Structure 1
Amino acid sequence: AWAAQELPEHCYLNLRIIDDGGQELAGGRKLHELQQQLGKAAATTFRDNTQEFERDNVTTWDIGTLPESIKFARGKQQLTGYLGLQKEKDGRIALRLFDTSAAAEQAHRLGVIELMKLQLKEQVKDLNKGIQGFTQAAMLLKHINADTLRDDLTQAVCDRAFIGEDELPRNEKAFKEQIKRARSRLPAVKEA
């Protein structure tokens, strides 16, 4: 177990962040501060190089098998990207390449759920109707807009029924099997 106190400044590595042209972008001894400072710019730069892997407006699983990660070259650098589906602001679903596995995993879960909703339109259509005790719950939680509460409930039911503890599908076969499971689980999850 490491001692909780801070080490003297000189015990930490001095980090220098260099761009492709050899210019120093930032430097310091605190990695997390450098990551916060440059993270957004790095993600943007990363995004500028990923178009060949990405696709907009995905409506069915016609994207083949998604590998966990992809290595690609940018200039002299080898970069690693993580593929996942993502729900865009306009509600459409897109295939995107992320710079961290955590970001890809989080987006992919929501993206898969949205894609499954498209396939299970009929089952999802009436999900938020006839929820027992909804009126009482909405009155108790009156600081939350009733429509927002209803949408959150629907999303929670879909998340639990469609994925739950299952592994996220990364190919068409796994996606179709997930839809079968979701279809049979949905009524029980809604009831619960």
Structure 2
Amino acid sequence: MSPNSMTLLIIVVVVIYMIVRQFQEQRITLVSLIILPVLVAYYTFMRATVELSIQIISPSFIMAAMLLGLAVGLPLGLYRGTLPALRKDPETGRILAKRNTLSICIWFLVFLVRVFTVVASYASLTRTSPLIALIAAIMNTLFLGNIVGERVSLFWRASRLSVIQQQNVQKMKW
């Protein structure tokens, strides 16, 4: 198996895993909330260095497009973070999140557009079309903002749920 085939296989497996995980109830922990945003941030940084080297468009336009993507992605992610149902497992005390259909559809749509822009950039379309280069820059940071916003919102909601439940327990002791 060639290295390119192996890389493609790994990417496909990771994408399938990410899609399947969207449909499962997930435990909310600080580590689980940080891992994906850090990986996406690293990949976004790597893509940004490539996009800033594109000579057909000014780097200032690319940076503005990236800021626009982040400005749209963060509120979208914050909204998506309010959609999952949270519950506390009575046996373990862990907080679990179950995404709803709207959250999954938004995530999948943003993810799909992100994949198409990555494919376009690997096909060197960003080096020939300023519009595609700008769209790729927007989608890189929009996806990152979406993921970070969702994780921040989930962490905030889970923290609040824990505090509220602790207060209820303290009230019951009296």
Q: TM-score, normalised by structure 1?
A: 0.24
Q: Larger Rg: 1 or 2?
A: 1
Higher relative contact order (CA 8 A, sep 6+): 2
More helix by share: 2
TM-score (norm 2): 0.25
